[in-house]
Protein backbone atom coordinates (compact mmCIF):
# COMPACT_ATOMS: atom_id res chain seq x y z
CA UNK A 1 0.00 0.00 0.00
CA UNK A 2 2.86 2.33 0.74
CA UNK A 3 4.39 1.88 -2.73
CA UNK A 4 1.07 2.47 -4.48
CA UNK A 5 0.28 5.54 -2.33
CA UNK A 6 -3.06 3.93 -1.48
CA UNK A 7 -2.18 4.37 2.19
CA UNK A 8 0.34 6.49 4.05
CA UNK A 9 -0.24 9.24 1.50
CA UNK A 10 2.43 11.44 3.05
CA UNK A 11 5.11 9.36 1.26
CA UNK A 12 3.74 9.92 -2.24
CA UNK A 13 7.11 11.29 -3.43
CA UNK A 14 8.82 7.90 -3.12
CA UNK A 15 8.63 6.55 -6.65
CA UNK A 16 10.53 3.45 -7.60
CA UNK A 17 11.80 3.01 -11.12
CA UNK A 18 11.07 -0.46 -12.47
CA UNK A 19 14.41 -0.23 -14.30
CA UNK A 20 16.65 1.09 -11.52
CA UNK A 21 15.04 -1.16 -8.90
CA UNK A 22 15.80 -4.24 -10.98
CA UNK A 23 19.34 -3.14 -11.75
CA UNK A 24 20.02 -2.58 -8.05
CA UNK A 25 18.43 -5.77 -6.74
CA UNK A 26 19.17 -8.26 -9.54
CA UNK A 27 22.19 -7.04 -11.48
CA UNK A 28 22.33 -10.01 -13.87
CA UNK A 29 18.60 -10.06 -14.63
CA UNK A 30 18.04 -13.60 -13.35
CA UNK A 31 14.42 -12.84 -12.42
CA UNK A 32 13.70 -11.37 -15.87
CA UNK A 33 15.38 -14.31 -17.59
CA UNK A 34 13.34 -16.81 -15.58
CA UNK A 35 9.91 -15.22 -15.92
CA UNK A 36 10.29 -13.57 -19.34
CA UNK A 37 12.00 -16.24 -21.42
CA UNK A 38 11.69 -14.06 -24.54
CA UNK A 39 14.34 -11.78 -23.01
CA UNK A 40 16.57 -14.55 -21.61
CA UNK A 41 19.29 -14.15 -24.25
CA UNK A 42 19.64 -10.39 -23.90
CA UNK A 43 23.01 -9.15 -22.63
CA UNK A 44 23.04 -7.81 -19.08
CA UNK A 45 23.41 -4.20 -20.19
CA UNK A 46 20.04 -4.41 -22.02
CA UNK A 47 18.07 -6.89 -19.91
CA UNK A 48 16.16 -4.13 -18.08
CA UNK A 49 15.77 -1.88 -21.12
CA UNK A 50 15.62 -4.22 -24.12
CA UNK A 51 14.04 -1.53 -26.30
CA UNK A 52 17.35 0.35 -26.17
CA UNK A 53 19.28 -2.57 -27.65
CA UNK A 54 20.46 -2.12 -31.24
CA UNK A 55 18.49 -4.16 -33.77
CA UNK A 56 21.47 -6.48 -34.28
CA UNK A 57 21.51 -7.26 -30.55
CA UNK A 58 17.77 -7.86 -30.56
CA UNK A 59 18.13 -10.25 -33.50
CA UNK A 60 20.98 -12.09 -31.80
CA UNK A 61 18.81 -12.47 -28.68
CA UNK A 62 15.94 -13.78 -30.81
CA UNK A 63 13.53 -11.14 -29.62
CA UNK A 64 12.65 -8.01 -31.59
CA UNK A 65 11.01 -5.34 -29.45
CA UNK A 66 7.63 -4.39 -30.86
CA UNK A 67 7.34 -7.72 -32.62
CA UNK A 68 8.25 -10.53 -30.20
CA UNK A 69 7.91 -8.46 -27.04
CA UNK A 70 5.91 -5.24 -26.56
CA UNK A 71 7.40 -1.78 -26.60
CA UNK A 72 7.16 0.21 -23.33
CA UNK A 73 3.73 1.69 -22.73
CA UNK A 74 5.13 4.85 -21.13
CA UNK A 75 8.47 6.55 -20.57
CA UNK A 76 8.82 6.15 -16.81
CA UNK A 77 11.01 9.25 -16.40
CA UNK A 78 8.29 11.42 -17.97
CA UNK A 79 5.18 9.94 -16.34
CA UNK A 80 6.90 9.76 -12.95
CA UNK A 81 7.36 13.56 -12.94
CA UNK A 82 3.79 14.12 -14.12
CA UNK A 83 2.44 11.79 -11.43
CA UNK A 84 4.51 13.43 -8.69
CA UNK A 85 3.10 16.83 -9.67
CA UNK A 86 -0.43 15.46 -9.53
CA UNK A 87 0.14 13.72 -6.21
CA UNK A 88 1.64 16.90 -4.73
CA UNK A 89 -1.45 18.85 -5.78
CA UNK A 90 -3.75 16.20 -4.32
CA UNK A 91 -1.75 16.14 -1.09
CA UNK A 92 -1.87 19.91 -0.80
CA UNK A 93 -5.63 19.94 -1.50
CA UNK A 94 -6.11 17.34 1.25
CA UNK A 95 -4.25 19.49 3.76
CA UNK A 96 -6.80 22.30 3.42
CA UNK A 97 -9.80 20.03 4.06
Whether pLDDT at 13 is above 70:
no
pLDDT of residue 83: 84
- Residue 63 neighbours by CB distance under 10 Å: 20
Pairwise CA distance, residues 7 & 31, whole Å: 28
pLDDT in tens, 14-69: 677 888 889 999 999 999 999 999 999 999 999 999 999 999 999 999 999 999 99
| List of residues 6+ apart from 55 with CB closer than 8 A | 64
User: What is the number of other CB atoms lying within 10 angstroms of the CB of residue 42?
Assistant: 25
Domain covering 9-96 in this structure, CATH number: 1.10.579.10
Q: Which residue ranges make up each domain of the chain?
A: 9-96
Higher pLDDT, 95 or 60: 60
Amino acid sequence: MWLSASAFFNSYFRVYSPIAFGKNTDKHGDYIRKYLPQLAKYPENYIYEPWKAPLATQRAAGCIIGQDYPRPIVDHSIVMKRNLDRMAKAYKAGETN
